[in-house]
A and B are shown apart, each in its own frame.
Chain A
Amino acid sequence: MKIKYLFLILIIIISCKKDKNLRDSIFIEDVESPGLPIYSEWGYNTFGAYYDREVFISNDKKVPLKIIVTNDTMTFNFFGQLGNTSYNNMTMKFYFTNFLPVNYEDLLQLNDTIINLNNTNKISINIYGSNVNVTLLNGYFKVDKAQLLFVDTKETEVILSGHFEFQALINNEPIAISDGRFDIGVNQSNFFSY
């Protein structure tokens, strides 16, 4: 009987796992925005933006996005690299307080949602392991499409695709984050609520 339950739990765990091919990052360079991935709505697990003239992009080494919901805040944690070297780690976190999903399926409510960014919002940036001082000036974060993905009729993940841009004082220097785009699959592997 115990073995039966163990087998059943094993099957459930395996069936909840994301298809390995869907976990991979598919980086297709945008010829109109060199260095950045194309905007897509396939769940290619990529993001990118210009950090002034450098690129802040996802890579194959880190999970590109983790969504963390704690207390009264939902955080979008983008993990990637600054420039074309994967050793130059960079993290950008967007903090949102007016939407608190319980599970990853609740993220569907973000479909076609634009959040205007101003000095009441919070963004934190970590470059090469060091936190930098960020004072947000203006910008937006938009989820163009939030869709539930079924693979072979089985619910697999929510794909969030959108754009972002903002201007900020970073260590008292005005910096523009422009042409930002993301296309990420979210499920139990990168959605946390605690």
Chain B
Amino acid sequence: MYMNGKILFTVILCFLLIGKSYSQNQFDSVRYFGIEVGNTFLPFNIPDYSFIRADNSSNNNDNSAINLTGRYNEFQFSIKTETRSLKNKLGLLYGIRLTYITSSLGKQDIWSKNDKYFYLLVNQSNTSSEILRVNEINQNSYFIGIPLELRYFTSHNRFFRFYFKTSVDLSYKFFTKNDVIFYNDNMESYTTDVINKFAKPSPFHCNINFGAGIKLGKEGKFNINIEAFAVSFNIVKTNSSIVRTGIGGGMQVNLLIPLKF
């Protein structure tokens, strides 16, 4: 967490310094405005939950004995504006972003109806234990925040331009919905008890990306940008309270139109 904080601080400092370096002389008269959609693919692992019963013999007392599957996906929608500098080779983008994170834990098989379950310990006293048969636990969260992006074009003005890009996204969670699918429908009254076994997801989302893209379109005209992130990771690992994310990649597509002033 300390190292991730250092990286975040360094990236934000770079953005601020570059932003400050923009002077009126360097400021192009064309500003771009547009919308963007994106998807981040992050690998994840399932933490070791002591309240979930193993169902698999194993040579190690680790998660391989529990045999759960998980899912994690991030989707983004943004409205952004871009200003260019350094003879139109450096672009600074910022705006407002809505991020949707969905994750799940269970015995889900995407190819068939899920009729498998795992046992989750919901209550325990000195001489009794109560477990529930659970098919799946789902968590969906919505974040709103500010993306800050910097891109550097490798060539001067032309229809097709390649660029490198780095970005940071700072968001705040404004809504979370948790859902538990029980093997026995009559156990729905225990939904809150099951959800409370897991820690709450972090209210903050901070994602850092390093990648590249191509811009299609004449300067001063409508642009389409297609980007891929080779490195993408969340500073805060607990955006989902049921799985933990690692380092992955992502894709974004944005459409920018020029606003001359």
Question: Footprint of B on A, CB under 8 Å?
Answer: 21, 24-31, 38, 42, 44, 108, 111, 146-153, 159
Q: A26-B57, A26-B65, A28-B58 are in contact. Are A148 and B128 (CB under 8 A)?
A: yes
**A32 to chain B: closest residue by CB:** B61
Q: Of B129, B130, B187, which is within 8 A of A159 by CB?
A: B129
> Chain A residues with Cβ under 8 A from B129's Cβ?
147-150, 159
Q: Of residues A152, A153, A159, which shows the largest number of chain B Cβ atoms within 10 Å of its Cβ?
A: A152
Instruction: Digitize B120-131: 1 where CB-to-A-CB distance is under 8 Å, 0 elsewhere.
Output: 000010111111
> Chain B residues with Cβ under 8 A from A24's Cβ?
55
- Residues B131 and A28 in contact, CB atoms below 8 Å apart: no
Give, as a whole number of angstroms, the nearest-CB distance from B236 to chain A: 32
Can you show 30 pairs from A to B with CB atoms below 8 A apart? A21-B55, A21-B119, A26-B54, A26-B57, A27-B57, A27-B58, A28-B54, A28-B61, A29-B59, A29-B60, A29-B61, A30-B61, A31-B61, A108-B127, A111-B127, A146-B127, A147-B124, A148-B127, A148-B129, A149-B131, A150-B128, A150-B130, A151-B119, A151-B131, A151-B132, A152-B132, A152-B133, A152-B184, A153-B130, A153-B187
> Chain B residues with Cβ under 8 A from A28's Cβ?
54, 57-58, 60-61, 65
**A30 to chain B: closest residue by CB:** B61
Contacts A38-B61, A152-B186 aside, 10 further interface pairs with beta carbons under 8 A come to: A26-B57, A28-B57, A28-B61, A29-B60, A30-B61, A44-B54, A147-B128, A151-B131, A151-B132, A153-B130
> Chain A residues with Cβ under 8 A from B58's Cβ?
27-29
Tell yes or no: B196 within 8 A of A by CB. Answer: no
Interface size class of B (residues with CB under 8 A): 20 to 34
Give the contacts of B161-181 with A (CB-CB under 8 A).
Answer: none
Question: Footprint of A on B, CB under 8 Å?
Answer: 53-61, 65, 119, 124, 126-133, 182-184, 186-187
Give, as a whole number of angstroms, the nearest-CB distance from A185 to chain B: 11
Q: Of B55, B59, B60, B131, which is within 8 A of A26 by CB?
A: B55
**B125 to chain A: closest residue by CB:** A147
